[in-house]
Each structure stands twice: as structure tokens, then as C-alpha cells.
Amino acid sequence: MSVTAAQGFSAAGIAAGIKENGNPDLALVVNNGPRRAAAGVFTSNRVKAAPVLWSEQVLKGGEVSAVVLNSGGANACTGPQGFQDTHATAEKAAEVLQGHSAGEIAVASTGLIGILLPMDKLLPGIEKAAAALSEHGGEKAAIAIKTTDTVHKTAVAGGEGWTVGGMAKGAGMLAPGLATMLVVLTTDADIDAAGLDAALRDATRTTFDRVDSDGCMSTNDTVLLLASGASGIAPEQKEFAEAVRTVCDDLARQLIGDAEGASKDIRIEVVNAATEDDAVEVGRSIARNNLLKCAIHGEDPNWGRVLSAIGTTKAAFEPDALNVAINDVWVCRGGSVGEDRDLVDMRFREVRITADLAAGTESAVIWANDLTADYVHENSAYSS
């Protein structure tokens, strides 16, 4: 599983001492070729962490030979020194791995914003990680990028003779424009950078970009897809893209399932929208409504809060034509009282909200979480 499920990759996860508790905090993923094609998608937050600014430049070349990832510090809002630290990280990896330039090394960081990384620990950690590289190191790499994640997250898919594997971290600051997360996907399929880019953008648009746990967009979101070509097989673009989407969807669901303090995973499906954009706008508005999120936590099928959220959007709809189902019970019909709300069974973790805009034929699914006292507790003490 993880990033070493595909041939041509080695990985490691070690404790460099960035985290004061001694937990693993540094991961290294190396593409051993023969191909080193890559694509990346990054946060749309305009305040971007140093490693995002660096890796965006690296990806412009369409080749990545290795990725260094650290938890324990986001290296965001750290000024020129932060950018120099990322550069030094890439230089160190290039030196240790030999035969590569820093310009082919992507860097990703996660953790608290506004703190400089302890480079005296991080740089020796890269040597330690390089020494631990293994074709079975994918799990350890996935463990080393955890922050408040309670479990590490991996997924795999593929076709005849080729594989797409991946790992992800993310538990808070999960919102569109990419959830707060680091994701590395690998494949041994023989695909060029353009093919990777098309598959990755298509996949993230309907998976990670439609996860909205808490409405907060990160400064560090990074999703990378690296191809080694080691299988020697060049699948059809469509088949390959579908495998990438499957892995992204699997990881996105794991992110929601492990979101900080959450007790419910909320699947919001907006149907019969005039446009897909309308469906996404309405879905996000519902996903971000704190009062609704509290109601779901209380297992209260409070459809009035769904309607009040829909009403704040610019989507095409008539208020008296809206229908809303919660766990398949149509509690709101024609913008007014529908079936008996007592019929809604909300005991299980997954809650399904269907919002019918009665305005067209387009649809979209957004995944969200409930809002809980545990979320408040976890995030009111995060940096102290």
C-alpha cells in the first residue's frame, strides 16, 4: 500500500526530532525511475507556505525525483528565512541522494503556522531517512506525516500490471481549494507529465476539493503525483485517470473520517441544480453552516438550517420549490414541512443530506463533518 505500492519507488519515515514528543516527523519518497514525471496541485490560499512556493516552482519542470515531507511545523508565514530553510532542505536531499539537483526535489511541510523549522534536526534527519529508504517503506512514510491524525491514510488502485498508490495526512483546517493536507501519489504506469497533470486535476476537483470539514483553508495543501514508468505499461489516459480518482476519493473519505473531534461524516448531495457550480456552491454553504453542523452532532434533523444555508447562495432556485432529505426522509418538500422528522434515524456516523434545487439536472457531492465540543477543545489548545 501507500507510496511504495507502485514499482520504482522507495520511501522512509523516521523521527528527526522536529516533534518534541519523539514521534516520526520526517518522510522521504524517492522515484527510482526510469521515468520521473510529476504533477502537483497546491493550496489556492494566497498566503502560501515556503514549501508550497518552492514545490510549485519545482513542478513547473514536470520532473520530481524525490519528495521530503515533515510534520511538526508548517514553515508558513516564516518570511525569507523560511524559504531559505526549504531550499536548504531540497539541497540536502539532492546531496544525500546523489545524481539529482535540488530543482527536482519537492518539499512539503505541515504543523503550526508561524514557527521556523529546527533545521539542526531536520537536515540530519534527511540523512537518516535516506539510509532507511526501502521499497516497503510506504507505511512508515505515511505515519511520519501525521499531525493530529489519529490514523495514517493510504490507498491503492490500478489496472493490468500497473498501480497507483498514495498516502495522505489531514485532520483539521480541512476545506476546499484543497483540504489541509499533504498527499503523495505514485504510479509505475508510463505516463508523461501532461497526462499526470490532467489526471490529477480532474481527480482532485471532485475529491479533495469537495471535502469541507471545517471551512478553513490551509497555507500548505499539497498533492503530488509521481510516475516511475517502472511497470513499462502505458494505460489509456481514461483508465489511468479513473484509478487516480479512485485513490484520491478513498484518501479524501479517510480525511473526513478522521477529522478533528468529529462524530459524524456528512455526505451532502445537491441534485437538480442548474449548473455544477451552483451545486458546489450550495453544497459548500450547507457544509459550512455551524448551526447545522451542531444540529447534526445532536442527531437533530434540523432541515430549517439547511434551507437557511441554501438561501445565502446565488444559485438558481425558487424557495418554494426546494426539497431536502435527511437520511432519505424528505423532511422538507416545496420549501415547507414534509415528512415527519421523527422518521429520520441519525444514530450512525454517516449522515446523508440531499438538497433538491429543482432547477436543472446537475449535481455535486460535498463531504463535511459535524461541529463538536471535542473540535473546540482540540483547536483551542493546539498551539499552546
Please, what is the minimum distance in Å from the beta carbon of residue 218 to a second copy?
A: 7
The answer to the question of residue 319 lying near a second copy (CB under 8 A) is yes
DSSP-based three-state secondary structure for 267: strand
Q: Is 146 annotated as a binding residue?
A: no
The answer to the question of residue 161 lying near a second copy (CB under 8 A) is no
The answer to the question of residue 116 lying near a second copy (CB under 8 A) is yes
Instruction: Please answer whether residues 173 and 180 qualify as being in contact, where contact means their C-beta atoms are separated by less than 8 angstroms.
Output: yes
The answer to the question of residue 294 lying near a second copy (CB under 8 A) is yes
The answer to the question of residue 113 lying near a second copy (CB under 8 A) is yes
User: Of 4, 180, 204, 372, which is the active-site residue?
Assistant: 180
Radius of gyration, CA atoms only, the chain: 21
The answer to the question of residue 369 lying near a second copy (CB under 8 A) is no
User: What residues contact 332, with CB distance under 8 A and at least 6 apart?
Assistant: 303, 306, 307, 322, 323, 324, 338
Please, what is the minimum distance in Å from the beta carbon of residue 144 to a second copy?
A: 22
Q: Is 260 annotated as a binding residue?
A: yes
Name which of 154 and 372 has its Cβ closer to a second copy.
372
Cell 495514517 sits on residue: 152
60-79 residues near a second copy, rule: CB under 8 A: 74, 76-79
Cell 482540540 sits on residue: 378
Please, what is the minimum distance in Å from the beta carbon of residue 255 to a second copy?
A: 16
Phi and psi for 251 in degrees, rounded to 5? -65, -40
DSSP conformational letter for 7: T
Residues facing residue 185 across a β-bridge:
166, 225
Name which of 236 and 342 has its Cβ closer to a second copy.
342
Prior bond of 34 cis (ω within 30°)? yes
Instruction: Please answer whether residues 354 and 363 qualify as being in contact, where contact means their C-beta atoms are separated by less than 8 angstroms.
Output: no
d(CA 44, CA 34): 32
The answer to the question of residue 298 lying near a second copy (CB under 8 A) is yes
Name which of 110 and 163 has its Cβ closer to a second copy.
110
The answer to the question of residue 29 lying near a second copy (CB under 8 A) is no
d(CA 74, CA 117): 8
Please, what is the minimum distance in Å from the beta carbon of residue 84 to a second copy?
A: 12
The answer to the question of residue 308 lying near a second copy (CB under 8 A) is yes
Please, what is the minimum distance in Å from the beta carbon of residue 45 to a second copy?
A: 4
d(CA 284, CA 217): 13
The answer to the question of residue 322 lying near a second copy (CB under 8 A) is yes
Q: Is 384 annotated as a binding residue?
A: yes
Please, what is the minimum distance in Å from the beta carbon of residue 108 to a second copy?
A: 16
d(CA 321, CA 357): 7
How many chain residues bind a second copy (CB under 8 A)? Answer: 67
Question: How many other C-beta atoms lie within 10 A of the C-beta of residue 84?
Answer: 13
d(CA 174, CA 299): 22
Name which of 186 and 372 has its Cβ closer to a second copy.
372
Question: Which amino acid is located at 105 in the chain?
Answer: I
267-286 residues near a second copy, rule: CB under 8 A: none
d(CA 265, CA 262): 8
The answer to the question of residue 346 lying near a second copy (CB under 8 A) is no
DSSP-based three-state secondary structure for 61: coil
Contact region with a second copy (CB under 8 A), list: 14-22, 32-40, 57-65, 306-314? 306-314
Name which of 167 and 371 has its Cβ closer to a second copy.
371
Please, what is the minimum distance in Å from the beta carbon of residue 369 to a second copy?
A: 11
DSSP-based three-state secondary structure for 114: coil
The answer to the question of residue 302 lying near a second copy (CB under 8 A) is yes
Our answer to whether residue 180 is catalytic in this structure is yes
Pairing mode, strands 222-227 and 265-273: unpaired
**Binding site residues for substrate, as ranges?**
147, 169, 180, 260, 379, 384
> Which active-site residues does the annotation give?
180
For a second copy, the binding residues (CB under 8 A) are 45-48, 74, 76-79, 81-82, 112-116, 172-173, 177, 214-219, 288-291, 294-295, 297-298, 300, 302-305, 307-313, 317, 319-320, 322, 332, 334-337, 371-373, 375-384
